[in-house]
Amino acid sequence: MTTFRRFCLLQSLMLWQGGFLFYTAVVVPTGTRVLGSGAAQGVITARVTDWLNLAGVLGLAAFAWDLNYTRDRSARRTAARWWCWAALLVCQWLLFFTHQLLDAFMDPDRTRVVNRPLFYPVHRVYLWASTVQWAVGLILAALTLAAWRAEDRKKKSA
């Protein structure tokens, strides 16, 4: 079961965090260039972020499962992992909340922004929450690898 749990976490992390990184680093600039504007790319992003947010929920669930079952002797590392998970959860809530606001500032088909003065400050919050979530996700991934290594060592010595 340990291998299956770790595999599920790894897959969900690659989808969630890897998908976010690939989308922001490759798809958005390429789409903006090909489509000719950030606004045109934004129409696609408005829909893709629905899926990235769903991937975030799946990733959080996989991390919670792993946090509950990984047996790490380091109480400090376990606490740090839970704190990171909580920060990711807060960021995910903020992403859902701001996404709803951003949708409200667009036309019903989400093809254009109808309230620019409110859209851009909220969009900035969304971008910062995404960036913080990604960075904390990296920290949690590193702590999780260390916890797995410690758990494996404990099993070998037993």
Task: List pLDDT tens digits, range 87-114.
Answer: 999 999 999 999 999 999 999 888 899 9
pLDDT score recorded for residue 69: 95
Radius of gyration of the chain (CA): 18
Q: Please write the tens of the pLDDT for every residue from 16-62.
A: 999 999 999 999 999 999 999 988 998 899 999 999 999 999 999 99
What are 72's two structure tokens? 């790490």
Tokens coding 78: 């376990």
SS3 146: helix
- Asked whether the beta carbons of 32 and 41 are under 8 A apart, the reply is yes
Dihedral of alpha carbons 68, 6, 21, 54, sign: negative
At 58-73, the pLDDT tens digits run 999 999 999 999 988 8
In angstroms, the CA 115 to CA 146 distance is 46
Kindly state the DSSP code that residue 29 receives in the 8-state scheme. H
Q: What Cα–Cα distance (Å) separates residue 107 from each residue in 32, 39, 50, 52? A: 20, 13, 17, 21
The span from the first CA to the last CA of the chain, in angstroms, equals: 18
- Percent of the chain surpassing pLDDT 70: 99
Its pTM stands at 0.92
- pLDDT of residue 158 exceeding 70, the answer is no
Q: State the pLDDT at residue 134.
A: 96
- For residue 70, give the 3-state DSSP assignment: coil
Three-state SS at 34:
helix
